[in-house]
Amino acid sequence: MPGGPFEMGTTDDPWAYDNERPAHQVDLPPYWIDAHPVTNAEYLAFIDAGGYEQPRWWHEKGRSWLARTGKRAPAFWQRTGGQWVRRRFGRIEPLPPDEPVQHVCWYEADAYARWAGARLPTEAEWEFAARGGLEGARYSWGDSYDPVDGWKANSWQGSFPTPTRRQTAGTARHRSAPSRPMAMASST
């Protein structure tokens, strides 16, 4: 990401949380951020490489969290008969490899990022990337939630979830800008 100054947060959006107020100027140096969210398959590689058993990837408080919880995979994941499955809306289903990983806490996300040779973005970096270069716009594609040319994010419209509505991590219909990450406002 090129970095630079931008207005973070909002002063007048009625749907904003109090910690998103007021709008204020932030100046970011250039930084890297992945083009798509981490997939289940990518996260599974971390698990298979022993990521939950290797303290070097974990923040000190993350190691304490691991010891306290006994976690060895994201919430709702389980290995059954040599296959990974997840519980979703009360149903057990095969783990879809190309969907964004869900239900990981900060410690798990941080350990994965360290293992992958990266780091988690700061809140300001995430917001800057998600805005897609449109300063002051409500969404990364503009201000209209239901634009004339179709939905830009998977936001519970229609019948959800269905197999035809699921999006994989790299196939969001909307890229915030040609050089910006995808799927920051859809299915994540």
Q: Estimate to the nearest angstrom the gap between the alpha carbon of 166 and the chain centroid.
A: 15
For residue 147, cis peptide bond before it (omega within 30 degrees of 0): no
Q: How far apart are CA 65 and CA 38, in angstroms?
A: 22
User: What does the pLDDT profile of the chain (188 residues) look like in tens digits?
Assistant: 999 999 998 888 888 899 889 999 999 999 999 988 999 999 999 999 999 999 999 999 999 999 999 999 999 999 999 999 999 989 999 999 999 999 999 999 999 999 999 999 999 999 898 887 777 777 777 777 765 666 666 665 555 455 544 555 544 444 444 455 665 655 44
Give the SS3 label for residue 154: coil
Given a contact cutoff of 8 angstroms between Cβ atoms, the answer to whether 45 and 101 are in contact is no
What pairs with residue 28 in β-bridges?
A: 4
Q: How far apart are CA 77 and CA 39, in angstroms?
A: 14
DSSP secondary structure of 56-113: GGS-HHHHHHHHHH--SS-TTEEEETTEEEEEETTEEEE--TTSBP-S--HHHHHHHH
pTM over 0.75: yes
Residue 184 confidence (pLDDT): 63
From first CA to last CA, the distance across the chain in angstroms is 20
